[in-house]
Structure 1
Amino acid sequence: MSDKIPIGISACLLGENVRFDGGHKRLAFAVNELAPWVHFEPVCPEMAIGLPTPRPALRLVKLDEGQVALRFSNHHEGDLTLAMQQFSTRRVASLDHLCGYIVCAKSPSCGMERVRVYDPEGSNNRKSGTGIFTAELKRQLPWLPVEEDGRLYDPAIRENFVERIYTLNELNILRQSGLTRGGLIGFHSRYKLLLLAHSQPQYRELGRFVADIESWDSLDAFFIEYRQRLMDLLAHQATRRNHTNVLMHVQGYFRRQLNSRQRQELSGLIDRYRQGTQPLLAPITLLKHYMAEYPDAYLAQQRYFEPYPETLRLRLGN
């Protein structure tokens, strides 16, 4: 069995020639950087419902009743809405093992946001829709990290997505190995500093939720609720201010071991990160050096210091 993280992806983003024009939208980040770490499960909903390639382009059309239909953009007869919805419902039901999904932007089947929705005459459109397959994906699996190719060019969004898929993968492995209250509490403890970097209010709220674990009769029900709350929290991008607070908090663990020069150097590096003149990797690297020199059991288990493989180099620009 592969130990790579299972990730769904629009097939065209892997370079498969499945688009309406017979081409693809190969996403270099996925193919070149993520591929060594994940197992991609490609889907092209339009090919899956029997459409050929090349084919007439599709579009979302808003009907008088307020519903959205999937039709050919060249006014060719045929309504593909039911076929696409039935396929999406069936296919997504088999995807709850995934830890993330990368979809093709602007697609009427796969677009995540701002997909053009046309009026019945095709004379006007608004960027207000979601592709039918992706809408079903988000409906059935609301905890799943979903991003589209265009947004992943943004370094902060890219890091946030990778961080979430690694977190969900570890949580899924914990469930597969057999849920225990101790296991879930231990998991949450390992992620405390990382969660603190994303949202202090939600961090405190989730902490209170975990502290109440004994009141839940069903551990599986607790897991489902915890998973949703955890992934909702991580969907908030970590901020420079929150990272700075976490770094200063960690600095406090070494106040007795470091001399005045070392404390000043570390404080200065954290402040330069706060000001934006140093990447996050700089103070973290120094803190990891002190963690090796002055071991602390709590800090050693924190995912904050390595939430994903270092070779992905995602913290260089943050």
Structure 2
Amino acid sequence: MSTPAHRLHAPSISKPKLGISACLMGVEVRFNGGHKLSHLCTDSLSQYFDFVPACPEVGIGMGVPRQAIRLVGDIDKPQAVGSVDSDMNVTQALAEYGERMADEMDDLCGYIFMQKSPSCGLERVKVYRENGAPFDGGGRGIYAKAFCDRHPDLPVEEDGRLNDPVLRENFVTRVYAYAAWQALVDSGITRRALTEFHSRYKYQLMANDPVQYRALGNLLGTMGKSDPKEIAPGYFSQLMSALKKPATRRTHTNVLQHLCGYLRKTIGTEDKQEIQAVIDQYHQGIVPLVVPLTLLKHHFRQHPDPYVALQVYLQPHPENLSLRNAI
């Protein structure tokens, strides 16, 4: 009995580890003694990920409750000082803690940070000039910057942005790609393993960044007799950069049409017309992505294709997360 096509490529990594700001897990570590519980993280995502909570401000010895801190000075290299007592400077302590935690938490596959936090925010964190006025755009929290500098390819996101269905699906897709790569590294990088990994991500990359998909293919195509272990780090960095670019209805539609091509010799005219009609509805924003995908999976169960069966795109994350029901 053949295995259904949509089951062959579903992620097999069990509960990847995610770092997370402790306040988002409901831990009362905020400066005011409160928390910022994220029901998305605790109720939905916790079924699929093992969370590793951390609070850098508590980690460096600041109490609860405590004086709030803020970023001041140079927009590119701000200082974290007390909002009441500006002589209290915890910049170096937060940076060193970020570096230490990055070294200790080296088995993470992603990190969810608390937005707008002077220690944990990823972007748009207020940085104040000497005259008290904030810079336009803002900066990055001290701890978050130190941590991310140590792991530049790690999928990271802020809790607030995860409320956007497209950004949430994109983040989780990257987490599972990161986990799959770590599994590949652990099993040993060979020329064949690298080529097969890229083949599995063909249509996912085509949806996220078609230009980068071709560039990565060319990179592997010119591998020749080079040591694949030397090429692998650069390949992976470019892969994660490409996957960070959210797919659009246009690029998804392009991928769906490509997948249809594998059925052209095996299904009848009426089925082809039905698939095209549903893809068109998706392209127009009438139905979510899960609708054409479900129909395609149905036909691939009836008419399995070994190459399509390996494609991560059809199920880049656990189906029960239902992440493609709203995009």
- Fold conserved between structures, TM > 0.5: yes
Please state whether the residue corresponding to 1:202 is helix, strand or coil.
helix
Partner of 2:119: 109
Counterpart Cα distance in 1 of 2:78 and 2:141: 10
Distance 1:67 1:254 in 2: 55
Alignment match of 2:195 (pick from 181, 185, 210): 185
- Let me know the Cα RMSD of the aligned residues: 1.5
Is 1:81 matched with 2:75?
Answer: no
C-alpha distance 66-111 of structure 1, shift in aligned 2 (>3 A): closer
Report SS of the residue matched to 1:22: coil
Equivalent of 1:8, from 19, 34, 54?
Answer: 19
Summarize deviations over 1:190-216 as a string: whole Å, max 9, x none. Answer: 110111011111111111112223342
Q: Deviations over 1:87-116 (max 9, x none)?
A: 122221233321111000010000000101
1:298 to 307, 310, 313: 307
Deviation at 1:120, TM superposition (A): 3.3
> Pick from 54, 57, 61: which aligns with 1:50?
61
What one-letter code is carried by the residue in structure 1 that aligns with 2:309? A
1:119 to partner: Cα distance: 2.3
Give the 5 Å matches for 1:93-242: 93-121=103-131, 123-126=132-135, 127-217=137-227, 219-242=228-251
Distance 1:67 1:192, change over 3 A: closer
CA distance in 2, matches of 1:31, 1:211: 43
TM-score by length of 1: 0.95
Counterpart for residue 250 of structure 1: 259
Please tell me whether residue 32 in structure 1 is matched to residue 48 in structure 2. Answer: no
Deviates more, 1:182-191 or 1:156-165: 182-191
Alignment-mate amino acid for residue 320 of structure 2: T
Give the Cα–Cα distance (whole angstroms) in 1 for the partners of residues 73 and 323 of structure 2.
40
Give the CA deviation at 1:66: 6.8
Asked if the contact 2:96/2:146 (under 8 Å) is kept, the reply is no
Compute the displacement of 1:250 (Å).
Answer: 0.9
Provide the rounded CA distance (Å) in 2 between the counterparts of 1:5 and 1:191: 19
Alpha-carbon distance between aligned partners in 2 of 1:184 and 1:197, rounded to the nearest angstrom = 20
- Structure 1 ranges of 4+ moved more than 6 A: none
CA distance in 1, matches of 2:116, 2:77: 19
Higher deviation after alignment, 160-169 or 129-138? 129-138
State the match for 2:298 in structure 1. 289
Higher normalized contact order (CA 8 Å, seq sep 6+, divided by chain length):
2
Amino acid across the alignment from 1:251: C
* Secondary structure of the corresponding residue to residue 54 of structure 1: coil
Unaligned runs of 5+ in 2: 1-12
| Alpha-carbon displacement from aligned partner over 1:124-168 (angstroms, at most 9, x marks no partner) | 113411000111122121111110011111110000000000111
What is the aligned partner in structure 1 of residue 6 from structure 2? none
Aligned residue pair count: 314
Moved more, 205-214 or 10-19: 205-214
Matches within 5 A, 1:270-289: 270-289=279-298
Query: What is the TM-score with the length of structure 2 in the denominator?
Result: 0.92
8 Å CA contact 2:56–2:98 kept in 1: the answer is: yes
Q: How far apart are 1:253 and its partner, in Å?
A: 1.1
Q: Deviation at 1:260?
A: 1.4
The 8 Å contact of residues 80 and 90 in structure 2, kept in 1 or not, is answered as yes
Unaligned residue ranges in structure 1 (runs of 5+): none
TM-aligned CA distance change 1:158 to 1:4, over 3 Å:
same
Number of the residue aligned with 2:7: none
For residues 145 and 46 of structure 1, the distance between their equivalents in structure 2, rounded to whole angstroms, comes to 22
Q: Judge which range, 232-241 or 127-136, deviates more.
A: 127-136
Aligned partners of 1:84, 1:306: CA distance in 2, in Å? Answer: 38
**What amino acid is the match of 1:246?**
V
Identity fraction in percent: 43
Deviation at 1:69, TM superposition (A): 0.8
